[in-house]
Structure 1
């Protein structure tokens, strides 16, 4: 007698566990690939623009050293090595007027050229008329460039040019008559020379002999 009962196929029963194992293998492989992909060097996180800006700001800008301003030279004069006797000898004074001699206890007159000279290390000398006590004041200054320019500009503004005191530009001469006193000024390449006195009246030639003697001694 033929057995007509249907029995489950062994092959079909055995196939189910195989499919499950294959599915697990595929899922595991996909997960492993995903992990590898997530850890690749090309996908490493980079700092955002805002983070970079914050980092640069915290470092602070590089400090640039600003140059120190060059100080303006001070108007001044060098110390004078000459003496009054070196500038005008007694014979020079006598030749101008025999009645003049060295003024005892001389000090520069207030607000005069000699007083200005004294403030710049200048030499000041006084000669007085033995009869009238009329005073002749002589001063010598060795200005630096700043002071020389300032004094020349002042003389040019306040006085008239006198070419007979010397030949410009080696010697620049000026004369003015103010406050009852004649004022003669000469600028050489090294010195500022002044002569002031009521004896010069309002004539630049009155001081010419003495100024010529001073310049001759200065060489």
Structure 2
């Protein structure tokens, strides 16, 4: 039989062996990795090229607005536009006003601003006037003037197109031919009938239009 001290030593050895085995078991549990869950970082197979934000056929660019052809200077003189004889035939009391400058906001001023000319004849008795202005204002401006004048009464046989209107006792005739715009104003142009018939007003303006080449 073991002595008491030998028995104690044997028990200590047994306990130490059991503790060592338990420690080995615990060490194996800590070192064993847990099964990994789904990876949070994107895999190579999940990567892709960015999808274009616009799909379908690309839209056509908007057309660029153009101002059309520019204004061209008119160099014809007043005596060439309406000869002294033509004006005398219209009314012998009219004389050319060489110092004439059109008032702002008038049709004649618009023509001058577009590199045109404005001519004025004054009745020596009454002071009434006949004003004729000519310009080549450029395609866009010409189209705008034609559209505005079109609200008046169409007059055939003068230029390519002509329109009459009256306001405040003054008659106005707008004539369009080629790149030219001619505008004639006067209290002597009482109505469209002055131009629709063979009256002197028609002869006067038609003579001026014939000089536009």
1:101 aligns with 2:95: yes
1:74/1:165 CA distance change after superposition, 3 Å: closer
Contact 1:79/1:122, CA 8 A, preserved across alignment: yes
Contact 2:139/2:179, CA 8 A, preserved across alignment: no
- Equivalent positions of 1:1-219 (< 5 A) are 48-49=44-45, 53=48, 70-73=64-67, 76-157=70-151, 159-166=152-159, 171-202=160-191, 203-205=193-195, 207-219=201-213
Two-structure CA RMSD over aligned residues (Å): 2.6
Q: Map Cα deviations across residues 156-197 of structure 1 (whole Å, 9 max, x no partner).
A: 12x10011424xxxx101111112211011111121111101
Question: Taking structure 2 as the reference length, what is the TM-score of the superposition?
Answer: 0.65
Higher helix share: 1
Aligned structure 1 segments of 4 or more residues deviating by more than 3 angstroms: 66-69
Q: Name stretches of at least 5 consecutive residues in structure 2 with no aligned partner.
A: 1-42, 51-59
Counterpart Cα distance in 1 of 2:182 and 2:73: 14
Contact 2:116/2:134, CA 8 A, preserved across alignment: yes
Contact 1:75/1:147, CA 8 A, preserved across alignment: no
The number of residues matched between the two structures is 159
Q: Name stretches of at least 5 consecutive residues in structure 1 with no aligned partner.
A: 1-46, 58-65
